[in-house]
Structure 1
């Protein structure tokens, strides 16, 4: 009799969660069109042009029109300006710079100059999603500013992808603002990202996503694996700016695997599943490669959601290497090591993810949860801002088993700011809320409390 009762209760518990059925999303024709519009040929042209500057080392030549980082950044700015001209001036294009000195890799005063292009949103222009790549390149000696450093994959591929995303997305109008950034000084200490993140914070940018693209063109790993159908998304766990009191709260309520960066990565992952042919993305539960870093980190340091998108199989013979042949092995980051179709595939992933978030409402703010010692769970959140009131259709509540990597159940709850999931026990699941526009575009899911907050 006890076994029968236990079985019945277990079945009732499952049926409560299963009321939502399988998660479904509205398929968006515009996102399919965006993915299809990305051109491998244009990406190849841009990577070839960047390689043609010989070296793009942060400390390299700045006066020449044909060699060095000065020529490279002026060329990138001119490309963004051409893109803007083609869309009727839809991009604000500018240099962003700061003089750096006294650093181990920048000992003498050097102007670190990035190129920024801003596509303003029409509904919520103060909400930003950012795609970035790195301008600079290097060889074996990080201080060698004169030797040829083609940097074809690391990271002309990321800059070329950012330019191509701007070409495609500038043909559309979005609710939120999209920023395309070619950041400088990465190899010398992530300086371009630090300068941009700090300026954004000063200017009050509401950054909801940073998609850092660092090496998106290599498919042949140093381990011998050749694969053009997978990519990695690196996402930090607990927020870097978490306070002691927030850490104590997280210990009892969870959130270690639900930082805004992790839920941003989940969002990009399901974009890949739905809109990018023959691409399986792996969300890596780590800030970056083991002990290494990239230009999303300065944004994470200030509490902004950010991830690194990159190839799965790295080839260390082509990274940070002098151009040479030793023992029959060719070293160096040249055009021969880049698969342009693969770079286009990862660029398309960025483009649909940026578009989806920029068309969607802002992720819900001030999400809270209650339901301890109760059979039901209640989530609440801040109502949409006035400027988004006509744009938003409602909210979607998500939940999943605590050992599941991705959201398993959801329920549309309408245009409300509180909802109770009856007979779904708070102890047994993780929960979140997303906002949905009237045309079906959805924000990333927000985990309750400061551990999962995307900011105001």
Structure 2
């Protein structure tokens, strides 16, 4: 039954004094929340930060640098993985890479006790830009079914196709070590370490094709999820995560960029106008997802600083997360801190004593391992936490100096309650948290005109969901 709670302004200020220092404690979650959060590489922790638990720490330690290197070198050894290259040569081309990835994923699934299934998700792409003739495009998709809320899905991907300088060159060497064997290596290592575990929600590990030709594999996968009505609550793509070295030789080995869009790609003009009217451009589901990643992965346990970039993607380019954004799913892109364009999409050659081409020698496998840990921290926490609260609204039918928030109760059996968060409109991160109990309605004695509010769910283990940003309702 919905409860109508209220907090006076004095109570709000008292909550501010405690939660700004230590974070709120939800009912039944005191033990899990007692440990102080670790310092981020950036030295600043949001009020919503979640310290890594014992299970997550154990998972992060199992991520194996040598296996990641083996994956990158093996994928590069197929010569080219161009989408238009051979599909039936056992040693060279995209077909050989497809079969190798599929076989490895099936090996990982064997440790899952039947919880992980692996499929070749294929379709024939008819002639289109960069596809001159009908071409079979195949994604390798490993699905680890959730044990508590299997209908809730989280997706992580990398693209296994590659390209040379000429995007239509299907025969020349295109090892694609950084772009994007590095991303596929992250996905495959996550599949390996999670296969023997029991996440509460479903996690999908995907190696997709057709990215360089136009995001074809990812668009097919996202379209299938949407047609089936799948509740994809988050999607990450790892694309170009192989090296922290920029084209000028400078290095930033402890930073990964996370690109997250503002006004959602899928919103209608009317919906976007409502969002803009309340200043919600920085509070899309994808931006909340990015904040969540910082909450759980920007810390000493991963050894990384997550630099959130408030853009859908880099200029002139786009990754597979865009296919999910187009379908209305929250999605974001991981990529290295500064790209070295001398090695991306360059033909393999030696010129003036300098080697060119996207080769494994230019990858930093320790760096890729840390990126994998960032992904693991985000995915595992998402899969163990309750789902993002649905139907969050702020009531605007009366002119008052307080704020009444309403949301729908989640169905998770271990749901403990909810927390209300807020920040000044000029702040990028949530700065305050209060626990409001197991309710679907709460009033805060602060003006909705002056600050941004959000709601997140908490389970009995102390795992918090991403924040839901309430849009106005009358």
TM-score normalized with structure 1 length: 0.92
Post-superposition shift, 1:71? 0.9
Pair 1:16–1:170, CA change in 2 (3 A): closer
**Aligned-pair Cα RMSD in Å:** 1.9
Structure 2 equivalent of residue 61 of structure 1: 86
Post-superposition shift, 1:123? 1.4
Count of matched residue positions in the alignment of Structure 1 and Structure 2: 438
Post-superposition shift, 1:217? 1.3
Question: Is 1:50–1:72's contact at 8 Å kept on the other side of the alignment?
Answer: yes
Pair 1:16–1:80, CA change in 2 (3 A): closer
Q: Paired residue for 1:49, among 51, 71, 74?
A: 74
Q: Paired residue for 2:403, among 371, 377, 380?
A: 377
Separation in 2, partners of 1:160, 1:90: 21
Unaligned runs of 5+ in 1: 1-9, 452-456
Q: Paired residue for 2:149, among 104, 124, 134?
A: 124
Separation in 2, partners of 1:276, 1:145: 41
Structure 2 equivalent of residue 414 of structure 1: 437
Question: Is 1:23–1:408's contact at 8 Å kept on the other side of the alignment?
Answer: no
Separation in 2, partners of 1:398, 1:305: 20
- Which residues of 2 match residues 269-288 of structure 1 at below 5 A? 269-274=294-299, 276-288=301-313
Post-superposition shift, 1:306? 0.3
DSSP-derived class of the 2:334 partner: strand
- 1:417-445 residue CA offsets vs partner (Å, 9 max, x unmatched): 011112x1111111111111111111111
Post-superposition shift, 1:29? 1.3
Structure 2 equivalent of residue 392 of structure 1: 415
Post-superposition shift, 1:11? 10
Post-superposition shift, 1:266? 0.8
Residue 300, structure 1, aligned to residue 335, structure 2? no
- 1:123-147 residue CA offsets vs partner (Å, 9 max, x unmatched): 1111100010001011100011111
DSSP-derived class of the 1:187 partner: helix
DSSP-derived class of the 2:99 partner: helix
Separation in 2, partners of 1:172, 1:410: 31
Residue 143, structure 1, aligned to residue 168, structure 2? yes
- 1:148-179 residue CA offsets vs partner (Å, 9 max, x unmatched): 11101110011111010011112210111000
Residue 29, structure 1, aligned to residue 35, structure 2? no
Pair 1:20–1:270, CA change in 2 (3 A): closer
Q: Paired residue for 2:370, among 332, 345, 354?
A: 345
Question: Is 2:16–2:433's contact at 8 Å kept on the other side of the alignment?
Answer: no
Residue 444, structure 1, aligned to residue 444, structure 2? no
Post-superposition shift, 1:66? 1.0
Structure 2 equivalent of residue 201 of structure 1: 226
Unaligned runs of 5+ in 2: 1-8, 24-49
Question: Is 1:31–1:275's contact at 8 Å kept on the other side of the alignment?
Answer: no
Question: Is 1:23–1:410's contact at 8 Å kept on the other side of the alignment?
Answer: no
Structure 1 equivalent of residue 424 of structure 2: 401
Separation in 1, partners of 2:72, 2:151: 32
Structure 2 equivalent of residue 5 of structure 1: none
Q: Paired residue for 1:115, among 140, 146, 149?
A: 140
Post-superposition shift, 1:80? 0.7
Q: Paired residue for 1:70, among 70, 91, 95?
A: 95
Question: Is 2:260–2:309's contact at 8 Å kept on the other side of the alignment?
Answer: yes
Pair 1:130–1:329, CA change in 2 (3 A): same
1 or 2 for the larger relative contact order (CA 8 Å, sep ≥6)?
A: 2
Structure 1 equivalent of residue 453 of structure 2: 431
- Which residues of 2 match residues 291-330 of structure 1 at below 5 A? 291-330=316-355
Separation in 1, partners of 2:331, 2:393: 22
Separation in 1, partners of 2:306, 2:80: 32
Pair 1:47–1:31, CA change in 2 (3 A): same
- 1:244-285 residue CA offsets vs partner (Å, 9 max, x unmatched): 321232232221001110110111112222353431111000
Question: Is 2:60–2:373's contact at 8 Å kept on the other side of the alignment?
Answer: yes
Question: Is 1:122–1:174's contact at 8 Å kept on the other side of the alignment?
Answer: yes
Separation in 2, partners of 1:308, 1:276: 21
Q: Paired residue for 1:224, among 249, 262, 267?
A: 249
Post-superposition shift, 1:240? 1.2
Separation in 2, partners of 1:337, 1:450: 50
Structure 1 equivalent of residue 31 of structure 2: none
TM-score normalized with structure 2 length: 0.89
Structure 2 equivalent of residue 260 of structure 1: 285
